[in-house]
């Protein structure tokens, strides 16, 4: 059984969407698949329309050793099974506090069904606590979905630290691959993100990119995998391609043996040095000047006022990694592009954003 955990402590980056759709496409390819929901939010079950009236038969009871794993399995389709979770699972960390071997609970539970499936897909919560730890220890491979926000790239470092701890303390080798998700190819930011990303993770990055599509959200809200909801939409092909890529790796990946060592090497590259960029604006008669852009998730930050030789100058230094960034000033509540920068791109509202190349 090939065991794959979807992990990233950043919420909303596409773990569950990927878990659901990957499981569904692998099952459609005739593989026998078990999806385990290790997230107390229970979204994997909801996203596949699994009814929660089996409430007492969740992964929680299995992890506590109160229920044999085979009794918690719910069959969704011929080759697709699921083990649900619910909010009670959030007590797991507390209940297990100090207990010996608490990181191995999932691994131990799986022994009984090791030969019953081709694939195990584990959906993890948005944290690096005991549940994610259990998932990573049980898995042989980790897929880290990363969406196009700098926020999720920042979180990657913590996650890799956790994985390193697992490798060292538990002596467990994990293959790691990163999946770019929720990519809107129309924006320059996303284009740049994908290009830099693929260049920096040539060996640890899926070729497949999951584009932004509202169909994925719709499908999940109808309790369906995309394959059962809309076969025409781009997300259908994206996740189908991902499943194919994973199937193709069956032999290849083991031969190459991607490990944390290789990704940490790449991780060094992930963080090229930041440069201090000084933003300056001459804005007399203004009371508040702020700046917002791709680098701060468009949340305005104040500039500092400096009177110099009778001029009213506003400035702020921001540390930026190499890349393209769109930004605007907010002068007393009014948006304005940077009058000192003639490089602009159209914004979605009919105006223009200034653009800086670092
Ligand atoms: N490619 C995409 N395009 C558009 N919406 C998406 C895409 N992928 C996921 N979503 C939507 O974004 C939201 C978050 O996705 P998802 O639940 O898969 O993230 P998650 O990492 O599992 O979140 P959490 O950390 O809370 O478990 C969902 O509403 C989902 O439908
Ligand atoms: Mg989730």
Handedness of CA 140, 141, 144, 145 (dihedral sign): negative
Sequence-distant (6+) residues with CB within 8 A of 332 are 286, 287, 288, 289
Half-sphere exposure of 316 (CA within 13 A, CB side): 16
- Identify which of 350, 285, 299, 304 has the alpha carbon closest to the alpha carbon of residue 327: 299
Q: Please state, in angstroms and rounded to a whole number, the distance separating the CA atoms of residues 35 and 44.
A: 8
Nearest atom of ligand 1 to the alpha carbon of 17 = 18
Domains 2-270 and 275-357 share a fold: no
Contacts of 306-312 with CB under 8 Å at 24 or more apart are 311/282, 311/284, 312/282, 312/283, 312/284, 312/285, 312/286
| Ligand 2 center–CA 14 separation, angstroms | 7
Q: Please state, in angstroms and rounded to a whole number, the distance separating the CA atoms of residues 111 and 68.
A: 11
Would you state the structure tokens that stand for residue 168, as one six-digit string?
């060292």
For residue 2, the SS3 value is strand
Q: Please state, in angstroms and rounded to a whole number, the distance separating the CA atoms of residues 256 and 252.
A: 6
**Percent helix, strand, coil in the chain (nearest 5)?**
40, 25, 35
Provide the 8-state DSSP code for 272. P
Nearest atom of ligand 1 to the alpha carbon of 238 = 1
Nearest atom of ligand 1 to the alpha carbon of 124 = 27
Ligand positioned closest to the Cα atom of 146: 1
Query: Is pTM, for the whole model, over 0.75?
Result: no
Please report, for the chain, the start and end positions of each structural domain, with discontinuous segments joined by +: 2-270, 275-357
Query: In the predicted model, what is the mean pLDDT of the chain?
Result: 86
| Ligand 2 center–CA 17 separation, angstroms | 7
Please choose from 7, 179, 217 the residue to mutate so as to test ligand 1's pocket, defined by most ligand atoms within 8 A of CB: 217
- Identify which of 103, 105, 266 has the alpha carbon closest to the alpha carbon of residue 200: 266
Q: Please state, in angstroms and rounded to a whole number, the distance separating the CA atoms of residues 205 and 153.
A: 13
Give the CATH H-level superfamily of domain 2-270: P-loop containing nucleotide triphosphate hydrolases (3.40.50.300)
| Ligand 1 center–CA 145 separation, angstroms | 10
Q: Please state, in angstroms and rounded to a whole number, the distance separating the CA atoms of residues 250 and 178.
A: 17
| Ligand 2 center–CA 123 separation, angstroms | 7
Give the DSSP H/E element, type plus range, for residue 325: strand 324-331
Pocket-forming residues, ligand 1, beta carbon under 6 Å: 11-17, 39, 41, 43, 126, 181-182, 210, 212-213, 216-217, 220
Would you state the structure tokens that stand for residue 26, as one six-digit string?
């692998």
Q: Which residues does the chain have with pLDDT short of 70?
A: 52-56, 149-155, 157, 197, 200, 251-273
Residue with CA nearest ligand 1 atom 13:
12
Ligand positioned closest to the Cα atom of 213: 1
Q: Please state, in angstroms and rounded to a whole number, the distance separating the CA atoms of residues 209 and 278.
A: 34
| Ligand 1 center–CA 71 separation, angstroms | 29
CATH 2.60.40.10 fits 275-357, yes or no: yes
Would you state the structure tokens that stand for residue 172, as one six-digit string?
């467990």
* Strand residues in 26-118 grouped as ranges (E): 33-37, 74-77, 80-83
Q: Alpha helix locations (H) across the chain? A: 15-28, 43-47, 59-63, 69-72, 92-95, 105-110, 130-138, 150-169, 188-200, 214-221, 234-256, 260-270
pLDDT digits (tens, 9 = 90+) for 114-146: 999 999 999 999 988 899 989 999 998 999 998
Would you state the structure tokens that stand for residue 298, as one six-digit string?
């468009």
- Identify which of 102, 145, 109 has the alpha carbon closest to the alpha carbon of residue 16: 145
| Ligand 1 center–CA 133 separation, angstroms | 21
- Identify which of 355, 324, 320, 318 has the alpha carbon closest to the alpha carbon of residue 337: 355
For residue 212, the SS3 value is coil
Nearest atom of ligand 1 to the alpha carbon of 20 = 18
- Identify which of 58, 68, 57 has the alpha carbon closest to the alpha carbon of residue 110: 68
- Identify which of 2, 3, 4, 6 has the alpha carbon closest to the alpha carbon of residue 125: 6
Q: Are the C-beta atoms of residues 330 and 291 closer than 8 Å to each other?
A: yes
| Ligand 1 center–CA 187 separation, angstroms | 19
């Amino acid at each position: 059984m090939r065991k794959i955990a979807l992990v990233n402590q950043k919420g909303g980056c596409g773990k569950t969407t990927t878990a659901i759709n990957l499981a569904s496409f692998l099952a459609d390819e005739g593989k026998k698949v078990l999806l385990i929901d290790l997230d107390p939010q229970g979204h994997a079950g909801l996203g596949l329309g699994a009814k929660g009236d089996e409430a007492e038969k969740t992964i929680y009871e299995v992890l506590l050793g109160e229920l044999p794993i085979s009794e918690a399995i719910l069959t969704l389709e011929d080759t697709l099974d699921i083990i649900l979770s619910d909010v009670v699972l959030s007590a797991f960390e507390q209940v297990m506090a100090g207990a010996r071997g608490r990181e191995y609970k999932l691994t131990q539970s799986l022994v009984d069904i090791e030969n019953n499936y081709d694939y195990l897909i584990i959906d993890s919560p948005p944290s690096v606590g005991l549940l994610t730890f259990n998932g990573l220890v049980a898995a042989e491979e980790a897929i880290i979905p990363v969406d196009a926000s700098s926020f999720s790239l920042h979180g990657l470092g913590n996650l890799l630290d956790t994985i390193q701890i697992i490798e060292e303390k538990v002596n467990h080798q994990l293959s790691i691959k990163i999946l770019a998700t929720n990519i809107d190819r129309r924006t320059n930011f996303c284009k740049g993100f994908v290009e830099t990303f693929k260049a920096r993770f040539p060996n640890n990055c899926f070729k497949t990119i999951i584009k932004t599509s509202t169909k994925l959200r719709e499908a999940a809200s109808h309790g369906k995998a995309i394959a059962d909801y809309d076969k025409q939409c781009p997300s259908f092909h994206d996740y189908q391609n991902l499943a194919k890529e994973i199937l193709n790796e069956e032999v290849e990946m083991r031969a190459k043996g991607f490990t944390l060592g290789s990704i940490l090497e790449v991780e060094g590259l992930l963080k090229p040095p930041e440069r201090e960029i000084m933003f300056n604006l001459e804005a007399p008669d203004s009371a508040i000047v702020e700046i917002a852009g791709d680098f701060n998730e468009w949340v305005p930050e104040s500039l500092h006022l400096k009177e110099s030789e009778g001029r009213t100058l506003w400035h702020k230094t921001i540390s930026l990694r190499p890349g393209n960034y769109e930004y605007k000033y907010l002068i007393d509540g009014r948006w304005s592009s940077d009058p000192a920068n003639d490089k602009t791109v159209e914004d979605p509202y009919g105006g223009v954003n200034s653009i800086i190349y670092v």
